[in-house]
Chain A
Amino acid sequence: MKWNKSLRLVSHCFVILLFLQVGCSFVDSNSGSPNREGEAPKWEQGKTANLLGAHARLRKLSLHIRGLSPSSEEYDNLESSISQGLGNKFFNDTLERYLKSPQHLGKMIERLEDLFGVRLNTLPAEKYFHEIPSKIKDITFDINSMDLLFRKVIHENTDWNTLFTAREYQILYPSLTLYNRPSDLGFLNAIKTDLPPSSDGLLRIRDKDEFQGSPIPIERSLMPVNFVEKDIRVAGAFTTSRFMSRYNTTLLNKNRKRAAALFRILLCDNMKPIIQDNEDISDLLAKAFPRTEQNPSPIIRSAEMKHGTEQTCMSCHQKLDPMGQTFRTSGNVLSSEAAPGALTYPTNDNKMVHVPVSGLGELVDTVTQQQEYAQCQVRHFWNWFIGKDIPLSYSRLEDLRLEFERVKRKPSDFVTYLVQQKEFLQDVSGTFSRDVTFAQIRPIMKQCASCHSGASNSLPNFENLPFGRTKQAHKTWIERIIVALDLAGSGAQAAMPPANSGWVLKKEEMQDFRNWINDGARDDNGLKTIEDGAVQRLPKPPTSSNTKTGIFGYAGLRYLSAMDLLRTIEQKFPNGWNGEFCVSNMDPKVLGFFNAETQEPTLQGPSLAFIKWLSKCLLEISKSEFVKIKADNKSFEKYLGKKVLESIAGTPQEDLIKNADKFAWKKVSPEIQSAIALHLVQDFIGRDTATDESELVEKALMMTKDSGDKMTTEALQLIILAAALNDEFLTY
């Protein structure tokens, strides 16, 4: 046992030394501002530089860019580079390599599919899109023009705007569709008359099971479909079968659903219909009674007509309706006729933009010229690479927008910049309070301003601070807002937003508001605009003991997705990888899948089903890995770790390296058992990452104790399971 403790102590000392070493290398390079050469950022004076350690930085980089945790070899290389004073070079090279990896392509396609609300595939996207054979014989190979466009932008690192404005597509020919939507060929047939007719070679399949056991003799390949550069009818991913079918239209809907998707994707303006339980029902009551001769009530408008024209409804409809008109001529296939419409929306400084356009293509071209568009795209990148829960001030957003434009909106270039920024390099683990600046409050106030615009000149511009022209006016308005939103209470007595506004503040938004006021109503730059005690202290939410994972529950976005887990499992067990096992037993609702309607994860965290799925998947894949290693006469050393290999050299336990599947676990000395467990825990969770690493190692070892006659590989499986069933493994 003494040896065991000393081994752990040595290991921990090594980690500490490594951390200090990296810390020093950061300090050395802290003389400059954030730059693109991979140097660490300069920290603001007076703030604690709570930087990530090198291991944690590698893990974060790998997970955010590839959706995959680093391998042990990568950690080893990092340590070796740091010991040679080449830490920054290592990170630069690694970043470049990650950005060119198939996993980055897959991860970005998945992010874009989530953004468009169209996620479909059950394997990581790179499985379909990394290498596309010139002749595709597999009928289950379903790739479509939208994903191929995503692939082009990420793969070739082209202008991000191409996603939305492209006039060049690739489609698979002959067409074949597994789903209830027109094939890409059928979708484009009316507008592109030089294409082969869709009935020529089009094969519609409702259920691929129909074709099990009877392969269709069909060979497909990619076909380019090009339009003229400024074709007003065509707009990148929006004029694809997949988008139009996903956001279908009805006589009542009048393409508003499509317009709402455009506003969300292009301008980060989320509009969702809601029903309030205290809405005015007088019109409904008037409708419920028939007209009589004695009581000839006036004809009232239908609720839908009324909804579309009332002032409170107009805050959404004045934007949605003109944009929706540009889709008017297209149902589920793209029309050859362009439909005119307009881009109408209020800018950041509350000026109404109204640009009439002749077609959807022109509309999207116009949107991409707007400052708010570029800011919104930056926000997407921020949410993906920094975190939705990390505050982004307006001035910071503008800085990043300028950089986005400077790198000509090339995604890999912008990601390279982002991941070297202080917000990425900060260690936010354990920092679970939400710092709120006006940047988080502005969208709420923008909504207020949108409805109040023109209502009264006595109202200040709510989108800028201070509210009103004087400090006193600002304080008074904040006090009025406290009352109007019932921030001192539960919100139940709120007079604003009005019941019939179709808009309601979420509990999280209410709490952000309270936190913002309690903390001095900080502006975009984090400076207080009201003095402490100037207004009443507002209630805080009850503190939860769930602080460690609170941020993840709140943001709901930092859990590894099921696809990330599949990538990681494949990397950890390359010999035994059989994605089919884990996929066929995976309920897609378990984790990481977005609800396309809410744009939030379907579940907010791991469920019972998820734990069981992950456990059984890991046990099955690891078992298959070990069987394969033995069958191929390979070594188990990868699962033992470098330090263990050194320790057992020349001892009877050396047999472990070749025969772990036959070597009884009880024959492994406790010291070596501990070292193996530490290696596997670090391999899964990351080195220098888990806060309770030694406790985890203890637990993992306890799992191996129950049965005395276990083989080593069985024990390894259990240790792996212990490491994986951990919040720190499952979260970014």
Chain B
Amino acid sequence: MSDDFEDDLWVLFEAESLEHCTSCEDHLFGDDEETTPGERLNKLFRAFHSLKSLASSMGMQNMVELAHACEDILGAARNGHLSITSDIKSGLIEATDLMRQLVVTTVAQRKPAMIDGVISCLENLKMIAAGSETAAEPDSLVSTNSAVPANNTQDEAADGSDASSGQSGGAQASSDRFVRVASDSLDNLFRLSGTLVAKAAVLAKITHNAADVTAGLLADQSQQLIEIRNQLEKVSRDIDFLNTAVADLRLVPLDDLARRLRRTAFDTARKVNKDIELAVDGEEMRADRAIVRTLTDPLLHMVRNAVDHGLEAPAGRGDKPQAGKVQISFSRSGSSLKILIKDDGRGLDVERIRQIAIERRRLTASEANEMSDSQMQRLIFEPGFSTASQLDDTSGRGVGMDVVFRNISLLGGEIEIASDVGKGTAFSITVPGATSTEACVVLSALTPIYAIPSRVVVWIKSAGELETEQRRGIEYVHHENHQIPIQQVHMLTGSQQNTTSLTDVKIILLHVLGFYFALKYQGGVEFADLVFEEPDLFISKLPMVSGTTITDASNVIFRLDVEKLDQMMHDRS
């Protein structure tokens, strides 16, 4: 076998296996409401099955066994012999981690690797599988004759409907859409492209001046100079495009970060025996690579804190549901990236912070008494205060809230605290310049024009196709189990609805931070990638605007402040 062929095979093997590991993790922790539990089981089963095939083709017996054991468990779950408890989940995730390590080590050594933990993990998985009925073993479901149990034909039918809905397999699709590039090469490219822009600007200036001073030159000489200047202008434009394209390479999707945060939340919850309900929003957004890197550790720390210290122990949650809610959401405001980390736990104990501040002689008693609650809360960002902010825990952690604060300040960002005793704590982080274009639905029949970020749009339907219901003068639309009141978008934004267009009336369904909103709009919609700027002082007084941009035709477009929609709706009702 040729070395080239073997090299190719290793590269493909590593990329595909790691992708399947990631999708296992995603499906295990996924909170994607659109995927039914059945579909999720199917996808998980397929991912483990693919891992088994890949491992088998490389002769990695231990990984084959791990994947096979996972497959058995999911087979049993798929057939209803077993339900996926959090213990089983963590067994599966442990197996996924081990397989990932096996892949990386094997690829590095170019021979099947053995690592610690495989055997005990395998035993654990086998025990889980044995715990379900013996009939749950997929292999023993059927004898060699062709009789097919009814429940399995249903599985096949489910697979078939998957196809008709046109859902593409994420793993395969993405393997062709993304390439891995060494980060050094990228940095180099950014630098070169930046230099090119600067040099082109100097050159353009010189020729521009030269072309203006043509008096002493012969006619064809000055003609040549003008020609050079014109050509250079074209090249400069191309360089600008190139630079924009290169800048775009700096942006990375936030899903990797979101995955790590999700993982940390569940791991921490398991470690401290708490039940959590985790919601992650906006992970499909992209942000600057360097900024994401700087934010990763602080965010991981904050999520750990939220679960470990923010949430009460299950017994101490009083009237609140046993499972603590943790919400992580990414959104955009103008060119800034906003991150919200929120829990419904005990809230910051301001009195306790005040006491500690006085005990540690950070403040005199009278200073401390003059400070407002919100000033007190911000003390947790002071160096040396971080352990004190972990009011119920004696164990220190590597990174404290002071480091979180410093990293965010380094990026020119801000962090705010909103905390209510007994109700929970929310940290809002804003980092400027982290984001670039945002895919939007543009409502051009409004004056001024408004744009809605596509990521919050569930669907746009013509009102004629929809069944709506009138109750007490309010029109409602159904979506899944929700009854959503329909709002006129021009009323909400205080804009004018141009009714000249003959296009039908549309209902636009939005899903923001766990809430649905239905907007009624009349006119055409367009789709555009827009770059928003922070609204200026005058515009920021408008209620529903969180960004502005100007189109090629010099029209102003306002970004609908979807993140504040729920607030607006409540104020009005």
Q: Do A and B come from one complex?
A: no
- Spell out A's residues near B (CB within 8 Å): none
- Spell out B's residues near A (CB within 8 Å): none
